[in-house]
Amino acid sequence: MQMQDIPSGLPFMKMHGLGNDFVVIDSRGRGAVTTAALAQAIGDRHRGVGFDQLAEILDGVGTDICLDFWNSDGSRAGACGNATRCVAAHVMAETGRDRLTIRTVRGVLEARSVAGVTWVNMGPPQLDWNEVPLARAMEVTGLPLPGAPTAVGMGNPHCVFVVPDAEAVALTEDGPRVETDPLFPEKTNVEYVEVRNRSEVRMRVWERGTGVTLACGSGACATVVATALRGLTERQVKMELDGGWLELDWREDGVWMGGPVAHVFDGHFSASFLALVEG
């Protein structure tokens, strides 16, 4: 769909999971409208709406719905766990269902509503170097970087550092340096995790293409995989992020993640805003 074909007054929703915030555009019955330029314009927190990621809902292909994800710099994101949970909660409330299948670049994900909590199975972790991906063949644990982090793919690349104090990490300095390290040909999300005990951790995150965020769902999934692989935690943990708490459960069928979501407001992009994007 071309920009001139987008209807004036394009509707959207603003949602968040633990302060990890999203613009959601529902394009079911119409086809995708998001472009890199539109994502950048909407993602500008001064001249647009602002978001950590943009999620576009599309008609399902053998599933209930499809989802596409965009970063605020206009790049595509392969996965976004908290946005998936937000959209799943919205569609389940809309349809009265408690289960949903969602097709993403990552694959087909399953969402469930359990006792008022929205859960999503983000799929099995990718633990081969070429799946993450890394620039060359190596073990994904003990990467040749200071701190010997662990690489985990969750539909997007993650680099997880275990640190003694997550609050002391200089996210805005260390995050972009690791994100753009040549070891990661598609760049990487960067997580810093403090292990409190075998069932509770504290994590902070720098997201590829976005920067510091209050939470990152796929990053939370990657973190529990990394700490469990290293024998530091069980496969089921509670995780404190800057924006609140998530529950993670690495099962045989994938990494399940549950936590709160919020629908903040609905709005419409004006014809004049869209015309500026078309430029």
Contacts of 203 by beta carbon, 8 Å cutoff, 6+ apart:
166, 191, 192, 193, 194, 219, 220, 223, 239, 240, 241
> What six digits make up the tokens of 49?
């709406």
Q: What are the beta bridge partners of residue 204?
A: 192
**How does DSSP assign the chain, residue by residue?**
--GGGSPTTEEEEEEEETTEEEEEEE-TTT-----HHHHHHHH-TTTS---SEEEEEEE-SSSSEEEEEEETTS-EES--HHHHHHHHHHHHHHHT-SEEEEEETTEEEEEEEETTEEEEE----B-STTTTT-SS---SSS-SSTT--EEEESSSEEEEEE-S-GGG--HHHHHHHHHT-TT-TT--EEEEEEEEETTEEEEEEEETTTEEES--HHHHHHHHHHHHHTTSS-SEEEEEETTEEEEEEEETTEEEEEE--EEEEEEEE-HHHHHHHH-
Dist CA 136 CA 181 (whole Å): 13
Does residue 57 contact residue 64 with C-beta atoms inside 8 Å?
no
Catalytic (active-site) positions: 80, 216
